[in-house]
Homo-oligomer: A and B are copies of this chain.
Amino acid sequence: MASLADVSREAGVSVATASRVLNGATHPVSADTRSRVLAAAERLGYSPSALAQALVTRTSRLIGVIVSDIVNPYFSVIARGVDDMSTRAGYVTMLSNADRRTSSEITRLQTMRDYRAAGVIFAGSGYVDDPRTPELAKAVAAARERGVLSISLTERDIDCPVITADNRAAAYDLTDHLVSQGHRRIVFVEGPAGMVATEQRRAGFLDRMTEAGLRDLAECVEGGFDFEAGHAAALRVLASRDLPDAIVAANDEAAVGALNALRQARIDVPGQVSVAGIDDLPVARFVGLTTVSLPLYELGAMAARRVIDAGTAGPAPEPGPPVVLPHRLVPRETTARRP
């Protein structure tokens, strides 16, 4: 557990000098001294205390990411993006699950702030008219004062950079695909009530349907972002009337749930009904689900990159318009041209 003092003693120099050679300061150091210090550090197996460094420099190489639930692949892909970028730059990732509770997001942010994280990335979508958002916004501002840069991966009423995907456009493009395949009666399985992402995706669906003059044939049913919700929604669709041409779920997991319900009911997909989702999670590939690929990994990576850059390049021009990363339609086997 050699400290810098140990190294400097071993090398016969002051801690100042040791520090300078060990972290490439601008201050000149003779080649001889330098190598003596390096040798001493090597001999002692020295590695600096990140804590002490962080304390004195008032910023750490810690990057926090606050997700709703890391078990949800949507978030784990984002987290992976963050971690890959962090690791590459010598940072380490702090992870926290907030279970979609804004209050938890606040607490976690504060904890990370107390560790002087260089940045905190908010991966979860917020709620529409969430009464707690102002509180979060205040916490974000307070954190910024301590030097932690917050970044949101969805648009929220927080004053911080946004790096995001276009949910509305994703749903729009997906719907467009279905429409262009000749489908007319399409039901949309909504996401969890009140979430911003839910609204956006629904809007994209409705917009395209309206443009296609199919507004009357468009139907939105209650759903959720999980398997069960999609399953239940499909069951309800099955029970209520004759089959629609297609079912668009608010995300892949719900789509897979719907798919299962349909297949259990011996409905041929895509023969009788087409099914599609949004996100392009790993599971979508497994089941051949048509979906829209969202740049989840890239979102995480880019957010981390931004935090890192802000650290090295000084307090950058913070605000700036939201960065929107491109999505991409991925047609697979659960959709087909309408007979």
Residues of A at the B interface (CB closer than 8 Å) are 1, 45, 47-52, 54-55, 60, 62, 69-71, 73, 76-77, 79-80, 83-84, 87, 90, 92-97, 108, 110-116, 142, 145-146, 227, 256-257, 260, 282-283, 285-287
Contacts and interface: CB of A to CB of B under 8 A. Distances in A.
Contacts of A285: 227
Copies in the complex: 2
Given A50-B114, A71-B76, A73-B71, A92 B92 contact: no
A79 B70 contact: yes
B93 A49 contact: no
B110 A84 contact: no
Contact of A95 (B77, B94, B116): B94
> Interface SS of chain A: helix, strand, loop or mixed?
helix
A320 to B, nearest CB: 25
25 contacts: A45-B142, A47-B110, A49-B55, A50-B111, A50-B114, A50-B115, A51-B54, A51-B115, A62-B94, A71-B76, A71-B77, A71-B282, A76-B76, A79-B95, A83-B95, A83-B96, A83-B97, A87-B108, A92-B108, A93-B95, A93-B96, A227-B285, A256-B286, A260-B287, A283-B283
Contacts of A110: 47
B60 A70 contact: no
A282 B70 CA distance: 13
A194 to B, nearest CB: 24
Contact of A70 (B52, B70, B90, B145): B70
Best-surrounded residue of A47, A50, A52, A69 (most CB of chain B within 10 A): A50
Given A48-B114, A51-B60, A97 B73 contact: no
Nearest to A112: B92
A260 to B, nearest CB: 7
B97 A94 contact: no
B115 A97 contact: no
A92 B73 contact: no
A69 B80 contact: yes
